Amino acid sequence: MSYPYQIKSFEAYQEAYQKSIQDPEAFWSAIAEHFTWKKKWDKVLEWNFTEPKVEWFKGGKLNITENCLDRHLATKGNHPAIIWEPNAPDENHRILTYKKLHEKVCQFAHLLKNNGVKKGDRVCIYMGMIPELAIAVLACARIGAIHSVVFGGFSAQSIADRLEDAKAEFIVTCDGAYRGAKDIPLKSVIDDALIGNKTVKRVIVATRTRTPVSMIKGRDVCWEDEMKQVEEKGITFIEAEAMDAEDPLFILYTSGSTGKPKGVVHTVAGYMIYTNYTFVNVFQYEPGQVHFCTADIGWITGHSYIVYGPLSAGATSLLFEGVPTWPDAGRFWDIVDKYKVNILYTAPTAIRSLMGFGLGPLQGKNLSSLKVLGTVGEPINEEAWHWYDEHVGKKKCPIVDTWWQTETGGCLISNLAGITPAKPGWATLPMPGLQMVLVDENGKEIIQEGEETISGNLCIKAPWPSILRTTYGDHERCRTNYFATYKNMYFTGDGALKNKDGFFRITGRVDDVLNVSGHRIGTAEVENAINMHAGVVESAVVGYPHDIKGQGIYAYVIYQGSHTQDTHGTGDLVRKDILQTVTRIIGAIAKPDKIQFVSGLPKTRSGKIMRRILRKIAEGETENLGDTSTLLDPGVVDEIKNGRL
Ligand code: WTA
């Protein structure tokens, strides 16, 4: 067997699950034995959910890059670690073998050190999907710097907020990024983010688009020039920093129900072990296979299943710079055909969007290399599931529906490809080590009786190795967000069903977080951005079902600016002003799909907005709005109903 801890039958899954619950310490330490440690741990697990405090493999010393790179050199030095497919199909692709990637990471780690980066420093990485992004991430981990990757779609203001929160002193970026027909000027966004910033000392700029950039003396340096200096010295290696198992590996900002994104912190050992374990088991990876995860490294899926999970398993990970629909909607299929991809892991929103182009783009594409398909990020509707199964997997590939979160580090509920049963629309069974429960509003566990399907809020009773440890700089926020709603439990923010077989179906967020095209966006965050527009008095944002994006953003806005009377009198220009404002404050990904101008919002006497009503109207439900008797001004509801877009 290629990975001693790879589960090969349904019985083996059941056995692993039992063991993991009866004796989690024995279970996870047996897996941890298969990794490279500089020093063994003193204690496998220490935890309580009241502070909260979770420590896995405390006292152990290791470096994740030795596990992702060095340990594969003897046997896989010449195997591809990363295959990079550029945005434009006619540009040459690149292959980085384990040896090459190791060398580049060591060299860039030197470069970081030459520029003053030390263990524990925060490095913000804002780049397109080029191999240098993975190199920068791994080089930080090599020297113990904490990376914080910010997705290339976020605005200057979002970056500025994250830089400040993380107190980052270093940035790695590119001149620009290619995404489909677009050329995004990343460095100039960074320049805007740095206006007024006093903490950032150094910006390292890689060249990709050769778009003009302003390079500020003393602050900005060029990746290629700096690399040349390292290479000319003949340096190809740097000792990996000995990290404590519980030292932070990275910060990744994600949206919650408040206006300000949270810096989710993951630590070295637990994250490494869990992403590796789930990569090997969920996808049933076999050595030599090509794994293609279509996410961006700016999101957790890219961190865990493009970089750390696959590389720690010595796998070949395909990194794609572009988008699924450019130059045409056959791009994914061309890539599968070209590199003989075995595992394709993508988002339901991408599947739905490709479905819209019909079967034409699939014609003539050889997809016979595919063995396993996966989805992540949002519930998958059955229609999309069957399309994926029939037209992509040709009914021969198991589909894994992986449910997880930025905070969970790796996937927590999923079938194991071809090993445990799949059920369309259901994420199915928990991974070993995961004690999932459904609770009612009062936190009381809902006990399943007989064959009934139960429904409730999804919580977890005990820690797994890659649970978040804190939210950066504000531990109390971590406690109140995840561990205070229900006593002694981690609350996911999702609702779920559990059927007679113990399968889970995720029904969506129960908090004020939207899931738009698989991207997490807080309603409060969007409201704050809309309210920044000078003419806006107040706004309320809710989600509504959207055919392709899963959820769309619906904004109700009270507007009193002088721009109301635009040339057509429709408010369209004002809508555009508001969209522009949201793009500036958060980024284009948070732009509302619909903006309805209203004269008031439905509020209770205590001033709380009744979102339930707004949600129903946005969904098209205008009759059964529930109890409106507690509203301050019930009349406003009729106005909103009549003006529905
Ligand atoms: C949703 C992405 C249904 C869920 C890895 C969760 C899903 C949020 C699934 C986390 C799935 C993720 N089925 N819903 N398979 N996977 N979600 O932090 O609401 O970007 O809480 O992590 O996405 O989003 P995040």
pTM (whole model) above 0.95: yes
Q: Which atom of ligand 1 is nearest to the CA of 413?
A: 15
Q: Which atom of ligand 1 is nearest to the CA of 513?
A: 19
Phi and psi for 330 in degrees, rounded to 5?
-100, 10
Residue 27 lies in a domain: no
pLDDT band at 475; cut points 50, 70, 90: very high
Phi and psi for 618 in degrees, rounded to 5?
-60, -35
Q: What percent of the chain has pLDDT over 70?
A: 98
Q: How many residues does the chain have?
A: 645
The residue contributing the CA closest to ligand 1 atom 13 is: 379
Q: In what order do the strands lie in the sheet with 490-498?
A: 436-439, 454-460, 490-498, 504-509
Mutate to test the pocket of ligand 1, among 403, 426, 458 (most ligand atoms within 8 A of CB): 403
Q: Has residue 565 got a pLDDT over 80?
A: no
Average pLDDT on 201-210 reads 98
Residue 406 lies in a domain: no
- Domain end, chosen from 175, 210, 244, is at 244
Pairing relationship of beta strands 94-97 and 80-85 according to DSSP bridges? antiparallel
Spatial CB neighbours of 190, under 8 Å, sequence gap ≥ 6: 126, 156, 159, 171, 173, 203
Average pLDDT on 76-95 reads 98
Q: What is the pLDDT of residue 624?
A: 82
- Decide whether any atom of ligand 1 lies within 6 Å of the 377 Cβ: yes
Q: In this structure, is the dihedral angle defined by the CA atoms of residues 194, 195, 201 and 205, taken in order, positive or negative?
A: positive
| Spacing, Cα 615 to ligand 1 middle (Å) | 20
Closest CA to 13 of 421, 475, 332, 459: 421
| Spacing, Cα 377 to ligand 1 middle (Å) | 4
Residue 229 lies in a domain: yes
C-alpha 81/C-alpha 88 separation (Å) is 21
C-alpha 65/C-alpha 43 separation (Å) is 23
Mutate to test the pocket of ligand 1, among 378, 385, 510 (most ligand atoms within 8 A of CB): 378
- Decide whether any atom of ligand 1 lies within 6 Å of the 506 Cβ: yes
Residue 542 lies in a domain: yes
Q: What is the pLDDT of residue 410?
A: 98
Beta bridge pairs of residue 316: 290
- Decide whether any atom of ligand 1 lies within 6 Å of the 296 Cβ: no
pLDDT band at 567; cut points 50, 70, 90: very low
Q: Which atom of ligand 1 is nearest to the CA of 406?
A: 18
pLDDT band at 499; cut points 50, 70, 90: very high
The three-class DSSP label of residue 506 is: strand
Within 10 Å of residue 202's Cβ, how many Cβ atoms?
A: 18
Helix pair 611-619, 635-642: axis angle to 10 deg: 30
Which residue do the tokens 């929103």 mark?
Answer: 349
* Residue 228, token pair as written in the block: 């040349």
**What's the Cα-to-Cα distance from 238 to each of 105, 108, 110, 113, 390, rounded to whole Å?**
9, 10, 7, 10, 48
- Domain end, chosen from 225, 244, 263, is at 244
The three-class DSSP label of residue 505 is: strand
For the ranges 351-360, 485-494, 560-569, the lowest mean pLDDT is seen at 560-569
Spatial CB neighbours of 238, under 8 Å, sequence gap ≥ 6: 106, 107, 109, 110, 113, 142, 143
| Spacing, Cα 508 to ligand 1 middle (Å) | 8
Spatial CB neighbours of 233, under 8 Å, sequence gap ≥ 6: none
C-alpha 389/C-alpha 357 separation (Å) is 16
Helix pair 24-32, 10-22: axis angle to 10 deg: 120
| Spacing, Cα 527 to ligand 1 middle (Å) | 22
- Domain end, chosen from 244, 266, 293, is at 244
Q: What is the pLDDT of residue 562?
A: 63
pLDDT band at 569; cut points 50, 70, 90: low
Within 10 Å of residue 326's Cβ, how many Cβ atoms?
A: 16
How many helices and strands in the chain, by DSSP H and E? 20, 30
Q: Has residue 566 got a pLDDT over 80?
A: no
pLDDT band at 563; cut points 50, 70, 90: low
Q: Has residue 331 got a pLDDT over 70?
A: yes
C-alpha 428/C-alpha 613 separation (Å) is 32
The three-class DSSP label of residue 103 is: helix
Residue 603 lies in a domain: yes
Pairing relationship of beta strands 372-376 and 399-402 according to DSSP bridges? parallel
C-alpha 398/C-alpha 626 separation (Å) is 42
Spatial CB neighbours of 119, under 8 Å, sequence gap ≥ 6: 143, 144, 145, 241
Question: Where residue 572 sits, what CATH number does that domain have?
Answer: 3.30.300.30
Q: Has residue 276 got a pLDDT over 80?
A: yes
Residue 121 lies in a domain: yes
pLDDT band at 627; cut points 50, 70, 90: confident
H helix or E strand, kind and range, residue 229: helix 223-232
pLDDT band at 632; cut points 50, 70, 90: confident
- Decide whether any atom of ligand 1 lies within 6 Å of the 379 Cβ: yes
* Residue 568, token pair as written in the block: 């057509």
* Residue 132, token pair as written in the block: 């240098």
- Decide whether any atom of ligand 1 lies within 6 Å of the 223 Cβ: no
H helix or E strand, kind and range, residue 205: strand 202-206
* Residue 276, token pair as written in the block: 């590796």
Residue 198 lies in a domain: yes
Work out how many domains the chain is built from and give that number: 2
pLDDT single digits (tens) 336-375: 999 999 999 999 999 999 999 999 999 999 999 999 999 9
**What's the Cα-to-Cα distance from 281 to each of 9, 307, 348, 466, 562, rounded to whole Å?**
11, 16, 21, 16, 59
- Decide whether any atom of ligand 1 lies within 6 Å of the 432 Cβ: no
pLDDT single digits (tens) 428-445: 999 999 999 999 999 999
- Decide whether any atom of ligand 1 lies within 6 Å of the 590 Cβ: no
Residue 225 lies in a domain: yes
Question: Where residue 174 sits, what CATH number does that domain have?
Answer: 3.40.50.980
pLDDT single digits (tens) 302-314: 999 999 999 999 9
Q: What percent of the chain has pLDDT over 90?
A: 92
* Residue 366, token pair as written in the block: 């050889």
pLDDT single digits (tens) 156-175: 999 999 999 999 999 999 99
The residue contributing the CA closest to ligand 1 atom 10 is: 405
- Decide whether any atom of ligand 1 lies within 6 Å of the 346 Cβ: no
Q: What is the pLDDT of residue 581?
A: 96
pLDDT band at 238; cut points 50, 70, 90: very high
- Decide whether any atom of ligand 1 lies within 6 Å of the 406 Cβ: yes
C-alpha 65/C-alpha 62 separation (Å) is 9
Closest CA to 400 of 384, 413, 416: 416
Mutate to test the pocket of ligand 1, among 266, 382, 506, 525 (most ligand atoms within 8 A of CB): 506
Q: What is the pLDDT of residue 166?
A: 98
C-alpha 530/C-alpha 544 separation (Å) is 18
Closest CA to 173 of 196, 148, 198, 141: 148
The residue contributing the CA closest to ligand 1 atom 8 is: 405
| Spacing, Cα 103 to ligand 1 middle (Å) | 35
Within 10 Å of residue 55's Cβ, how many Cβ atoms?
A: 20
Q: Which atom of ligand 1 is nearest to the CA of 493?
A: 21
H, E, C per residue of 265-324: EEEHHHHHHHHHHHHHHHCCCCCCCEEEECCCCCCHHHHHHHHHHHHHCCCEEEEECCCC
Domain of 234? 98-244
The residue contributing the CA closest to ligand 1 atom 22 is: 405
